[in-house]
Structure 1
Amino acid sequence: MPGLYLVAILISAAGVAALDARWRLAAWAAPGRTLAAVGLGTAFFLVWDAVGIAAGVFVKGGSPLLLGIDLAPHLPLEEPFFLAFLCYLALVCWSGAMRLREARPDAAARGRS
């Protein structure tokens, strides 16, 4: 079913955004910084992909789940969406981990030693 991979990425991103909204971890706490971090991370990984494609390391496999639209040879349309999702997920996970770390009662004592 063409497009299913992109739909899965978007549904997953919506789930992460719901957690972010509920706990105000990234985009709801600092939208500008979140957009910048996700944008820079996505751009970095797209350059990484381009280098890998040029070196012949990364190739696009044939999958019926892809839309079939390529932005460049071996770079499907879904790739930037996946990379943005990956960056956003990492940022939300990091923010959540830092929130949990700060909430621990003995965190202040550990920080001083």
Structure 2
Amino acid sequence: MGVVYLAALLLSLSCMLLLDWRFRLFFWRDAVSAAVVTTVGLVFFLLWDVAGIANGIFFRGEGAIASGLLLAPELPIEEPVFLVFLVVCTMVIYTGSARVISRRRARRRDEAEAS
């Protein structure tokens, strides 16, 4: 039962990537830019976590669903997977929202020009 959280994170990330693939929103739109954004986001949030851990702000909670594997003191293996999920999820929502807004504006503009 110790890898439930990690498995759930990987499943959630897979679902986000499937949405991305279906609608060509992030990685399947521009893989190089998406990789750069994801890497920069991951590094930023990992540095944030390390700073929080070093200052005694962040602690690893004990949980039956966590694997218990640590990359560093107070930094479980699930954390970078969660951070990648966070960045990918944010970018899929952002690019999807931008596409919806853009299409609505174009449709309104077309309707206004037709009347």
TM-score, scaled to structure 2: 0.90
Match of 1:24 in 2: 24
The whole-number CA distance in structure 2 between the counterparts of 1:15 and 1:25 is 13
Tell me the SS of whatever aligns to 1:106.
helix
Q: Percent identity at matched positions?
A: 38
Larger mean CA deviation between 97-106 and 39-48 belongs to 97-106
Between the aligned partners of 2:59 and 2:108, the Cα distance in structure 1 is: 48
Give the equivalent residue in structure 2 for 1:50: 50
CA distance in structure 1 between the partners assigned to 2:72 and 2:108 by the alignment = 51
CA distance in 1, matches of 2:108, 2:58: 46
Q: Where do residues 1-113 of structure 1 align in structure 2 (5 Å cutoff)?
A: 1-104=1-104, 105-106=107-108
Q: CA RMSD in A?
A: 1.2
CA distances 1:12-68 after superposition (whole Å, capped 9, x unpaired): 011111111110000000001111101110000000000000111100010011111
TM-score (norm 1): 0.92
User: Which residue number corresponds to residue 113 of structure 2?
Assistant: none
Q: Secondary structure at the match of 2:71?
A: strand
Distance change in 2, residues 1:75/1:103 (3 Å): same
**Distance apart, 1:106 and its partner CA:** 3.1
State how many pairs are aligned. Answer: 108
Q: Is the contact between residue 3 and residue 65 of structure 1 (CA under 8 Å) also seen in structure 2?
A: yes
Report the residue type matching 1:61 in the other structure.
G
SS at match of 2:68: coil
Which has the larger Rg? Answer: 2
